[in-house]
Amino acid sequence: MLANRLIPTLLLRDGRLVKTIQFDRIRDVGNPLTTAKIYDAQGVDELLFLDIDASRQKREIVINIISQVADECFMPLTVGGGIRDCDDIQELLKNGADKVSINSAAVRDPGFINKAARKFGRQCIVAGIDYKKNTHGNYRIHIDGGRTETDLDPLTWAREVEKRGAGEIFLYSIDRDGTMLGYDVHFIRTIVDGVTIPVIACGGAGRLEDFVEVIRSSHASAAAAASIFHFTDQSPIKVRSFMRQADLRVRDIYDS
């Protein structure tokens, strides 16, 4: 049985580490390389970097950060934000990324997932799904950093990206982002039950209990979080210990 993963999510803007609330209200929270080193020392399962600038003009900043982190840290790195074609993926992998998260470009051109999975392997391709409830109470996928609502239903799209070759889904609740009010467990379970590939749940972690609940109740393969680590005294070490005490299978920090 595979261990449940714990994945800090790091948002990048202009070379700095930031945190948002519902994809808005941006707050600077530090140096990404320093923070990555701390997480590496705490034995996190992997790190997920999201470039919220997502512009080709500033892509070099992100490339440099990923290259530095890869040189000095030893956990797997997933990178997303502004990835538009296979050349972008190639550049990130060449500079130390292990996986890439594709979102807006895949919605605009679903065949991009097929191309990327064929070229780099499905284990390398993570489908990013940012979702939010609309005024009618229906979940819809958003792209362009949450600014553009689409008519796509998240479950339908999750099944589509799996069929096209994505090896994993990064499921990010815009409504819960930065609120620390707990994961959107019921809806996460809907997505998990609807696909066969692993699902990373993100958005809302604020207590140690939230990590246990999202794994136990939604059956997500991994729990991603940011605010709880930036703004409270909780750490990945404390989370992992709490999850283990709750009889969840987690990787030991000393596992090879």
Confidence of residue 59 (pLDDT cuts 50, 70, 90): confident
Residues 6+ away with beta carbon under 8 Å from 247: none
What CATH number is given to the structural domain containing 75? 3.20.20.70
Average pLDDT of the chain is: 94
Alpha-helical (H) ranges within 32-77 are 32-41, 59-72
Q: What percentage of the chain's residues is helix, strand, coil (to nearest 5)?
A: 40, 25, 35
- Please indicate, yes or no, if residue 251 is contained in any of the structural domains: no
- Please indicate, yes or no, if residue 252 is contained in any of the structural domains: no
- Please indicate, yes or no, if residue 256 is contained in any of the structural domains: no
Cβ-based neighbour number of residue 23 at 10 Å: 20
CA angle 52/179/84 to nearest 5° reads 20
Please determine, for residue 92, whether its predicted confidence score (pLDDT) is greater than 60. Answer: yes
- Please indicate, yes or no, if residue 160 is contained in any of the structural domains: yes
Please determine, for residue 203, whether its predicted confidence score (pLDDT) is greater than 70. Answer: yes
Going along the chain, which residue ranges are E strands?
5-13, 16-21, 24-30, 47-51, 77-80, 99-102, 125-133, 139-143, 148-149, 168-173, 199-202, 222-225
Please state, for a pLDDT cut of 70, what percent of the chain lies above it.
96
pTM of the model: 0.95
- Please indicate, yes or no, if residue 253 is contained in any of the structural domains: no
Q: Which residue has the tokens 């390398």?
A: 124
- Segment 35-48 mean pLDDT: 95
User: In the chain, how many domains are there?
Assistant: 1
- Please indicate, yes or no, if residue 192 is contained in any of the structural domains: yes
In this predicted structure, what is the pLDDT of residue 58? 63
- Please indicate, yes or no, if residue 211 is contained in any of the structural domains: yes
pLDDT per residue as tens digits for the range 5-20: 999 999 999 889 999 9
Confidence of residue 252 (pLDDT cuts 50, 70, 90): confident
Nearest to 51 by CA among 4, 120, 105, 94: 105
Please determine, for residue 163, whether its predicted confidence score (pLDDT) is greater than 50. Answer: yes
- Please indicate, yes or no, if residue 118 is contained in any of the structural domains: yes
pLDDT per residue as tens digits for the range 24-37: 999 999 999 999 99
Residues spanned by the domain of 101:
5-245
Q: How many CA atoms lie within 13 A of 67 on its CB side?
A: 10
